[in-house]
Structure 1
Amino acid sequence: MENTSQIDLKGNISDFSATIKALETEPGKSIQVQKLYKTKGMEILLIALDGQAELKKHTAPGPISVQVIRGSISFRTDESAKELTTGQLLTLEGNVPHSVFAAERSIFLVTKSIPG
């Protein structure tokens, strides 16, 4: 974790603005993933996709949330596709096959619940 400080109640505060800036300016990879946090029950990932890049169909074992930080993405399941733009948040139950496509350079935050 980058720029992390502890708070009361056994938690952390993370300032990942430097990580976002690095992802925005780092050329060469069409898909970039930064793990920000992981415990037995939760994982938080910051993902950057270049324009025309796609995360192929996959599933998560537990519920997830996806929040767009920069740009826009198309979040696709077998039943539908939702266009998400900066500031929007999507939640999805576990074990639902999905893919993500970015028409433009985009960065989003994924929070995964890990059943246990």
Structure 2
Amino acid sequence: MKTASLTNNIQYHETRPTIQVLLETENGKEIRIAFKKDQVMKEHKTPFPIVVEIFEGSIDFGVNGSVHTLKTGDLVSLEGGVPHDLTALKDSIVRLSLNKADSAKRVEDVAKNS
């Protein structure tokens, strides 16, 4: 058994979202993305399907040029290869579920380059 918390030891970076791997299992990875208000993850694609949960806060989630405002408790799934971007409307915590074959480093690089 493995355990993790979406709310313990949250760290916010002043200029970009903070990425932290919470759990890694044989099937996937659970990642916490901590956004301060107005922080952005520029448009990017993932090679595998993902699930995004807004655990706390509110995010504008852009998909193929269309923006969807997501709030606490909302979930969205995307197939691989779909262009998307995120903008925090307020301080927010996002849970990202990745395929095992995907890389947390790829997510970190998107945040660093946004």
For normalisation by structure 2, the TM-score amounts to 0.77
The structure that is strand-richer by fraction is 1
Change (3 A) 1:27 1:77: closer
Give the % identical residues.
Answer: 28
Structure 1: gaps (5+ residues):
1-5, 7-11
Q: CA deviation at 1:15?
A: 3.5
Question: Is the contact between residue 50 and residue 102 of structure 1 (CA under 8 Å) also seen in structure 2?
Answer: yes
Larger radius of gyration: 1
Change (3 A) 1:80 1:114: farther
Which moved further from structure 2: 77-86 or 90-99? 77-86
Matched with 1:9 is: none
For normalisation by structure 1, the TM-score amounts to 0.75
1-structure distance, mates of 2:13, 2:42: 21
Highest relative contact order (Cα 8 Å, sep 6+), 1 or 2? Answer: 2
Give every structure 1 segment of 4 or more consecutive aligned residues whose post-TM-superposition deviation is greater than 2 Å.
Answer: 25-30, 37-41
| RMSD over aligned Cα atoms | 2.2
Structure 2: gaps (5+ residues):
103-114
Matched length: 102
